[in-house]
Amino acid sequence: MRPPRHPPYLLMLTTESSLEPTPSETAGLGLSTGARGLALLGGVAVVVLILIAVKGYQPAAQATANGLVAGTYFALGAVGLALVFGVLRLVNFAHGDFLTFGAYAALLANAFFRLPIIVATAIAIVATALLGAILELAIWRPMRARRAGGLQLLLIAIGLAYVIRNGIQIAAGAEPRSLHVDVTSAVSFMGGIRLGTTELTVVLIGLVVLVLVAIMLSVSRLGKEMRALADNVSLAEVAGVDTGRVIISTWLVAGGLAGLAGVLVAAAVGVLTPQFGFQLLLSLFAATVLGGIGNAYGALAGGLLLGLTQEWSTLFIDPRWKLAVGFAILILTLLIRPNGLLGRPALK
């Protein structure tokens, strides 16, 4: 089959890859990344040891623990972004606001209806998963049927981000709010690392879910179908994958994880405003790009790595530059290894 020529005007974003992803872009979804993952883990260990040698045990260990907290919710947020990009080739600018939506759904259940935080979290996961699925049915599926181009989809996603975020602000107001979680008690462990009990809970829940997601992707039928679709839509369809069902499932998983991530951020940070998801979005992009955009395993690793690097940077420079460090990492990765740390080197 001839490749489509003349990317039409509105198809100017990602046209080629959306139709025929090159092997280098999708290889990262295979398990062949295991070795790279191990190498990455080794690299992290070496950096921690160097930091301990340079800055002393307690500061370095504390920064690493803080980095794990942030990295956990970066990773949970980023994996949904990567799944949607992998399966649909859609850069979902509204994904950050999915996190906000989840956090406010939990807030409504927890602070307004006085439900326990566990129930509120479950409600947030279900509500955000449904939001993803409803938007797929109401907007994305009809737009795909009309063969909308990349720029059209990107701008619709940005528009959705504005509608969700500002809809929340109109409903809930702009003032900072808090979930009913324990923000005062803290624990010390491993010789002087101090974390809030809530932060520790967030890390533990987050890491467990991340492992479950990785297992789901590698062994479950749905995970395999998602990866097949990300690899090559036509081949997956020929092989009998029900694309409509897999796409809906992708949105459910991405939305559910975003909802959970939103609650975890709100719990760990302590306060939330309608803006927080969008402010987090670029960090989530940074995490997905670090891991190789569209590569779900990569996004897990990229999120953790981004959180760690940002916190490590505070050992050397003022913490207020933390965000800028994240964006600089994003740009550097795009320049040096556009296919991410876990992807193969770029062809182009």
CB distance 124 to 259 below 8 Å:
yes
Residue among 150, 256, 292, 343 that touches another protein (CB under 8 A): 150
Nearer to another protein, 263 or 281 (CB): 281
**DSSP states of 235-279 as a string?**
HHHHTT--HHHHHHHHHHHHHHHHHHHHHHHHHHHS-B-TTHHHH
CB distance 98 to 259 below 8 Å:
yes
First and final C-alpha spacing in the chain: 22
# residues contacting another protein (CB under 8 A): 56
Residue among 5, 114, 219, 238 that touches another protein (CB under 8 A): 5
Map the footprint of another protein across residues 271-290, applying CB under 8 A: 274, 282, 285-286, 289
Residue among 24, 166, 201, 243 that touches another protein (CB under 8 A): 166
- Sign of the Cα torsion 293, 296, 297, 300 reads positive
Residue among 58, 130, 248, 321 that touches another protein (CB under 8 A): 321
Is residue 174 involved in binding another protein (CB under 8 A)? yes
* Rounded Cα gap, residues 27 and 164, in angstroms: 34
Q: Which stretch binds another protein (CB under 8 A): 41-49, 182-190, 225-233, 324-332?
A: 324-332
The tokens of 106 are what?
């939990």
Tokens 């049915």, residue located: 137
Nearer to another protein, 241 or 286 (CB): 286
The CB-of-2 to another protein minimum distance in angstroms stands at 10
Burial 92-123 (b: 16+ CB within 10 A, else e): bbbbbbbbbbbbbbbbbbbbeeebebeebbbb
Is residue 328 involved in binding another protein (CB under 8 A)? yes
The CB-of-159 to another protein minimum distance in angstroms stands at 3
Residue among 45, 163, 239, 347 that touches another protein (CB under 8 A): 163
**Secondary structure (3-state) at 195:** strand
* Rounded Cα gap, residues 43 and 210, in angstroms: 20
CA distances from 220 to 20, 70, 77, 212, 262 (A): 25, 28, 21, 11, 25
Nearer to another protein, 196 or 277 (CB): 277
Is residue 10 involved in binding another protein (CB under 8 A)? yes
Find residue 187's DSSP bridge partners: 195
User: Which x/- pattern over 103-142 shows residues binding another protein (rule: CB under 8 A)?
Assistant: ------------------------------------x--x
Numbers of helices and strands, H then E, in the chain: 15, 2
Residue among 4, 23, 116, 176 that touches another protein (CB under 8 A): 4
* Rounded Cα gap, residues 160 and 142, in angstroms: 15
Nearer to another protein, 42 or 142 (CB): 142
In eight-state DSSP terms, residue 116 is -
Is residue 316 involved in binding another protein (CB under 8 A)? no
The CB-of-251 to another protein minimum distance in angstroms stands at 17
The CB-of-34 to another protein minimum distance in angstroms stands at 26
Binding site for another protein (CB under 8 A): 4-14, 17, 91, 139, 142-143, 147-152, 154-156, 158-163, 165-167, 169-170, 173-174, 274, 282, 285-286, 289, 293, 318, 320-321, 323-324, 327-328, 330-331, 334-335, 338
